[in-house]
Chains A and B, each alone.
Chain A
Amino acid sequence: MSMDAVFKALADPTRRQLLDNLHARNGQTLSALCEEMDMTRQAVSKHLAVLEEANLIVTRKRGREKEHYLNPAPIFEIADRWIDKFERGKLRVLADLKKNLEGTSDE
């Protein structure tokens, strides 16, 4: 799950539009998403595949339908890369806990 894939997926306005549509109404099928987009079903499907590859959407089968869900987790992970600098205090607590749970062995 590379950060490149997330940025590449987000770089396209159509794909951002698809995410916006899912943000407004989560769990839509391909047909429902196509209704809101001015392009072929095939093109929408291709964009959805790129989003899924980047883990920005997750699909679930419900009966014969495939539902699409917005998955914001990768976006939070990107934010973390630049906002985590100022909080180092908990490291020690975790190191102790890690030791307790795992014994003394390293990774």
Chain B
Amino acid sequence: MSKPSFVYVTYIKTTQEKLWQALINPEFNRQYWFGAHQETDWKKGSPWKIVFADGRIADTGEILDIDPLKRIVIKWRNEFMPDLKAEGYTRCTIEIEPQGDVMKLSVTHEAEKQGANKFIDAVSGGWPQILASLKSLLETGKALPRTDRLPEK
């Protein structure tokens, strides 16, 4: 059995530069990433983290590889939910492929260990909303409702 993973793809009518900025710029992140943003200097080997709007650390890891405008590979572990943190590191690959005036954005997120993985299950619910909101933000100037903050539970 392969390691638990998913691949999400969305097509966004924008430029490669704008999409790249939306992925790495904290001000952009906050609007479509549930109010959270990433903190890193976007260099290979650098530490990486996601910080919630209230300052709590959501996830931590490392930039495993980066090819500006094209590809980011992140070593990624949850930090704020003990049972999710216990699942260990995952690997997230974000890729941009220009196709004419449309950018194909792919997110592949996979576990490092075999077997069921609660963290992969959890992020698999979040990514589609983040991607749809990012698409809306870039194409219409407006992120989706309720993706600028954490869902209330």
A88 to B145, CA, bound (A): 9
Instruction: Knowing A75-B128, A77-B135, A80-B136, say if A58 contacts B31 (CB, 8 Å).
Output: no
Q: Quick one: which of A73, A79, A97, A101 contacts B8, CB cutoff 8 A?
A: A73
Is A87 interfacial (CB 8 A cutoff)?
yes
Residues of B within 8 A of A58 (CB): 7-9, 106
Please tell me if the beta carbons of A72 and B128 are within 8 angstroms of each other in the complex.
Answer: yes
A 50-72 contacts with B by CB, 8 A: 55, 58, 60, 62, 67, 69-72
Residues of B in contact (CB 8 Å), total 33
Q: Could you tell me the dominant secondary structure of chain B's interface residues? A: mixed
A residues bordering B, Cβ < 8 Å? 1, 26-27, 55, 58, 60, 62, 67, 69-77, 79-80, 83-84, 86-88, 90-91, 93-95, 97-98, 101-102
B residues bordering A, Cβ < 8 Å? 2, 4-11, 18, 21, 25, 27-28, 31, 102, 106, 108, 128-129, 131-133, 135-137, 141-146, 148
